[in-house]
Amino acid sequence: MAGPLAGVRVLDLSREVAGAYATKLLADYGADVLKLEAPGGGPLRRFGPFPGDDPHTERSGLFLHLNTNKRSRVLDATDPANAERILALAAEADIVVEDFAPGDPASWGWGWEALSAGRDDLVLLSITPFGQTGPYRRYRGSEITAQGFGGPMHMTGHASLGPLKHAGHFAGYHAGIVSAFAAMLLRLRVEAGGRGDWIDVSLAECQACSRDRRSTALLAASYAGVGGGRGATGLRVAAGVRPCADGYVNIMGAGPRLHALLHLIHREDLLEHPDINAPMTLMPPALAEEVEGAYRAWLDERTKREIIPLAQEHHLPCGALQTTQDLIEDPHFLERGVWEPIDHPEAGRLRYPGRPFV
């Protein structure tokens, strides 16, 4: 059955996660995506995991996942000698996606002015670390610089150590979702009789604009003069990830939920302490250690599948940290058909994450 984007043509000139994921989303929902790679392949082919832990450019799990349902062709977009071929392919596309440094495509002969010459329906999606304008436009960037510059690393890691990057390609996937959404909005405008345009997506700005409570905390700090940051041991009582008998869980049991958590772990006696309702960061150390110790001891004796329903019975937000094996075997995901087996001539038959919505 044809997907909802059937008939939309996309030329994918991207090399990194954000562009690859944006075009994967378009392809998985029916768009005809043609991916161009330089001879030797793009950088994502060098990322694992690899089947059998045997590195090979045709068996990169990350590359295969990010390029489902795409056609491909070998062509070096950075060679000005190929500009006419790039322009010819772009002329057949509704959406063009690229992630080169600002100004580079124009210097190679296929920038916005050249791509949009003679047509007003083109959607050009450019994804860069810091955007097409501004003093940082030519700065190079990576996953860790996007997370650091954009704000999420302000709160990650332990206070006595350096900030920590989120695992994997957190910023890249986020920017990819934003990019696919922006491209489709503009394409809808074109199909409604409007004009195309050039979309400028910055990884750092995608991070900075989605900082939830951290933005509010920083705003409050500008008035109070006291900033938040990475917490120290003992300050986050009964909050955050904790080990259990067979892995890790996260029960949000701090603050107004602490009473429910103490009932959960059968330590109602602590409710009689005069300071039990103190804010988490102001709780006396001895009491904080007693609560935390009782909580950890209760978790140590139970598995993830035992803990979650018990926490839910006490109306506590909770979740288990799933391993890859847990995810593959999860009965909910299996029933919904999240994992799709796909055969590949080099990598063999692998299970891939399916579309994020159906």
Instruction: Express as a percent the part of the chain with pLDDT over 90.
Output: 76
Domain assignment of residue 250, given as a range: 241-321
Determine contact, residues 75/110, Cβ cutoff 8 Å: no
CA distance 25 to 125: 14
Q: Read off the tokens for 111.
A: 């920038």
Q: What single string gives the DSSP state of each residue in 34-54? A: EEEE-TT--GGGG-S--GGG-
Determine the pLDDT at residue 225: 57
> Mean per-residue pLDDT for 5-19?
98
58/165 same-domain check: yes
| Strand 348-353 versus strand 241-244 pairing type | unpaired
Determine contact, residues 30/41, Cβ cutoff 8 Å: no
Determine contact, residues 62/34, Cβ cutoff 8 Å: no
Cβ neighbours of residue 24 under 8 Å, at least 6 residues apart? 65, 66, 67, 68, 69, 70, 176
pLDDT confidence of 193, banded at 50, 70, 90?
very high
Q: What single string gives the DSSP state of each residue in 308-345? A: HHHHHHTT--EEE---HHHHHH-HHHHHHT-EEEEEET
What is this structure's pTM? 0.85
Q: Where are the alpha helices (DSSP H) in the chain?
A: 17-28, 61-66, 83-91, 104-107, 112-116, 143-150, 170-191, 203-208, 212-224, 258-264, 285-300, 304-313, 324-329, 331-336
Domain count across the chain: 2
**Residue 229 domain-assigned (yes or no):** no
80/200 same-domain check: yes
**Residue 279 domain-assigned (yes or no):** yes
pLDDT confidence of 233, banded at 50, 70, 90?
very low
- Helix/strand/coil for 348: strand
CB burial class (10 A; 0-12, 13-18, 19+) of residue 343? exposed
| pLDDT for 332 beyond 70 | yes
**Residue 65 domain-assigned (yes or no):** yes
Determine contact, residues 7/164, Cβ cutoff 8 Å: no
Determine contact, residues 155/177, Cβ cutoff 8 Å: no
> Mean per-residue pLDDT for 44-59?
94
50/168 same-domain check: yes
102/204 same-domain check: yes
Computed over every residue of the chain, the mean pLDDT equals 91
Summarised one tens digit per residue, pLDDT across range 291-325 is: 999 999 999 999 999 999 999 999 999 999 999 89
42/108 same-domain check: yes
